[in-house]
């Protein structure tokens, strides 16, 4: 089945220790997104790739970076995690069919910062 896969599902890191979260998709979608979601809050878009074009949200901290080496994979790098970065990180994809841009989400990676 076509899907969005995130690894790992749970990640524990130490304060200030770089961490990378990964996302892969078999949907062959052009667009890939990274969201941060804190408890009982809406998903907050960090950035997205339209093919190889990177689109950063204005309020995304510099501490967050992303890479998309090919269509299938996208990575979220947190250079120096702080306690406030503990959250669920959601990857999503969408195609570019005009007017129908529903997003397909992975199961998320829950990040704990000690």
Partner 1 sequence: SQQGEEDPQALSIQEGENATMNCSYKTSINNLQWYRQNSGRGLVHLILIRSNEREKHSGRLRVTLDTSKKSSSLLITASRAADTASYFCATDAAQGAQKLVFGQGTRLTINP
Chain residues in the site for partner 1 (CB under 8 A): 4, 6, 31, 33, 40-43, 45, 48, 50, 88, 90, 92, 94, 96, 98-108, 110
The residue (of 91 and 113) whose beta carbon lies closer to partner 1 is 91
> Smallest gap, in angstroms, from Cβ of residue 31 to partner 1?
5
> Smallest gap, in angstroms, from Cβ of residue 114 to partner 1?
20
Indicate the SS3 state at residue 107: coil
> Smallest gap, in angstroms, from Cβ of residue 109 to partner 1?
10
Give Cβ neighbours of residue 12 (< 8 Å, ≥ 6 apart): 111, 112, 113, 114
User: How far is the C-alpha of 66 from the C-alpha of 34, rounded, in Å?
Assistant: 9
Give Cβ neighbours of residue 47 (< 8 Å, ≥ 6 apart): 33, 34, 54, 55, 56, 57, 60, 64, 66
> Smallest gap, in angstroms, from Cβ of residue 52 to partner 1?
14
């Amino acid at each position: 089945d076509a899907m969005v896969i995130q690894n790992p599902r749970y990640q524990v890191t130490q304060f200030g220790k770089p961490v990378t979260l990964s996302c892969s998709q078999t949907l062959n979608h052009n667009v890939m997104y990274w969201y941060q979601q804190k408890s009982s809050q809406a998903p907050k878009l960090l950035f997205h790739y339209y093919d190889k074009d990177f689109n950063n949200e204005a309020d995304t901290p510099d501490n967050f970076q992303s890479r998309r080496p090919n269509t299938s994979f996208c990575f979220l790098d947190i250079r120096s995690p702080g306690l406030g970065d503990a959250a669920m990180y959601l990857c999503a994809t969408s195609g570019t069919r005009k007017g129908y841009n529903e997003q397909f989400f992975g199961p998320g990676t829950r990040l704990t910062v000690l």
